[in-house]
């Protein structure tokens, strides 16, 4: 077990290095949240709700976009750089490596938190926070949730070509669906149902609960538990899909000398 833990931590470390892109590329990803920060803060001047949406909505957008950048092409990259054989042939269960990658990507997403919070504080736009520990918990939950979905996307990309075509639409789809900038209750019924099946939706609720108080008077434990449960389910789905992919690779592969 200790051996697995160490292997997992090494996978996290390797992932952090792999995912740490150039400053230029990261800045390219950070610019959208900063734009949303401006929009949210000045769309309804003097409105606490607007300020909260601007600051925390843009933070969540930035975290998800950072994870998407780091995670979505991860398995494809392991394939093209031919490091996948190392992972497949290792005696350590693949699930350990995949969970390590999730943690690495979750950590990377905090770069977006740092950027948005710094700009918001310097510009005097940071709203009062009702519950700081809850905010931190919510951000951590969101980071982990995003990373689990990012990994699932990454595996889906190598399993089916159709997934690759989704690209940026997948990234922005989360902005629309997961209540990053507005409560999901304003979405049409079937769309809202889909939103509630994603772990990020619930962790975003935790973040806003820390800033504005819980939605509809719900107990904050509910979105926390749902976020964790759905993140675990997404991780399991990613692992199972990966094993299916691995089995296919080992059975089919391409002709070699």
Partner 1 sequence: MVAAIECQALTRSFRTRSRQGPREVLALAGLDLSVGPGTLFGVLGPNGAGKTTLVRILTTLLLPTSGHARVAGFDVVDHPNRVRASVGFTFGGDRGLYGRLTGRENLLYAGALHGVHGRDARRRAAELLDVVGLRESASRRVETYSRGMRQRLHLARALMHRPPLLLLDEPTTGLDPKAAREVRQLVKRIQSTGATILLTTHLMPEAEELCDALAVLARGRLLAAGRPSELKQRSSQPTVIEVEVETSPVGRDAVAAIRALDHVVAVEVLDEGQRQRVRVHSSGGSGPLLDVLRRLELHGLRTVNVREPTLEDAYLALVHG
Partner 2 sequence: MFDAARLFVTVGWYSYKALFIWLTPIGYVMSKVAVPLLQITVFALLARSLGLEPGQRVIGNAVQSAALNGVFGTMMALHGERNFHTLAFLIASPANRLVTFGGRILAHVVDGMIVVLLGLTFGVIVFGLDLSHANRVGTPLAFAVTVTAISGLGLLLGSAALVTRDILLLGNVAYWTLVALCGVNLPVDQLPEPLRMVAQVLPLTRGLQAVRLLLAGGSLAQAAPLLAGELLVGAAYYAAAYVAFQAIERVAARRATLELD
Residue 237's binding partner, choosing from partner 2, partner 1, none, with beta-carbon cut-off 5 to 8 A by kind?
none
Least separation in angstroms between residue 94's CB and partner 1 is 10
Q: Does 90 bind partner 1 (CB under 8 A)?
A: yes
What is the SS3 string spanning 92-155? Answer: CCHHHHHHHHHHHHHHHHHHHHHHHHHHHHHCCCCCCCCCHHHHHHHHHHHHHHHHHHHHHHHH
Window contacting partner 1 (CB under 8 A); options: 32-40, 89-97, 138-146, 199-207 = 89-97
Residue 81's binding partner, choosing from partner 1, partner 2, none, with beta-carbon cut-off 5 to 8 A by kind?
partner 1
Strand segments (E) across the chain: none
Residue 236's binding partner, choosing from partner 1, partner 2, none, with beta-carbon cut-off 5 to 8 A by kind?
none
Burial of 116 by CB count in 10 Å (0-12 exposed, 13-18 middle, 19+ buried)?
A: buried
d(CA 169, CA 166): 6
Restricted to residues 120-159, the positions that interact with partner 1 (CB under 8 A) are none
Which of 209, 202, 210, 211 shows the shortest CA–CA distance to 233?
A: 202
Nearer to partner 1, 72 or 201 (CB): 72
Residues that bind partner 1 (CB under 8 A): 2-3, 6-7, 9-11, 13-14, 17-18, 20, 80-83, 85-92, 97, 249-257
């Amino acid at each position: 077990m200790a051996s697995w833990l160490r292997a997992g931590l090494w996978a996290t470390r390797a992932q952090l290095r792999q995912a740490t892109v150039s400053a230029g590329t990261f800045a390219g990803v950070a610019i959208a949240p900063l734009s949303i920060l401006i929009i949210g803060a000045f769309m309804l001047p003097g409105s606490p709700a607007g300020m909260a949406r601007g600051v925390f909505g843009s933070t969540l957008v930035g975290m998800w976009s950072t994870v998407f950048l780091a995670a979505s092409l991860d398995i494809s990259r392991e394939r093209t750089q031919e490091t996948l054989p190392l992972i497949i042939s290792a005696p350590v269960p693949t699930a350990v490596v995949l969970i390590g990658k999730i943690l690495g990507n979750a950590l990377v997403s905090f770069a977006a938190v740092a950027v948005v919070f710094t700009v918001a504080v310097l510009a005097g736009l940071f709203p009062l926070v009702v519950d700081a520990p809850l905010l931190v918990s919510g951000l951590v939950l969101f980071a982990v949730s995003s990373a689990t979905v990012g990994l699932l996307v990454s595996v889906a990309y190598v399993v089916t070509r159709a997934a690759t075509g989704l690209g940026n639409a997948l990234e922005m789809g989360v902005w629309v669906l997961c209540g990053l900038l507005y409560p999901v209750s304003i979405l049409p019924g079937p769309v809202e149902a889909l939103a509630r099946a994603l772990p990020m939706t619930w962790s975003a609720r935790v973040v806003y609960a820390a800033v504005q108080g819980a939605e509809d008077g719900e107990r904050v434990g509910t979105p926390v538990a749902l976020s964790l449960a759905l993140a675990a389910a997404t991780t399991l789905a990613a692992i199972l899909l990966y094993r299916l992919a691995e089995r296919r690779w080992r059975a089919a592969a391409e002709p070699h000398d």
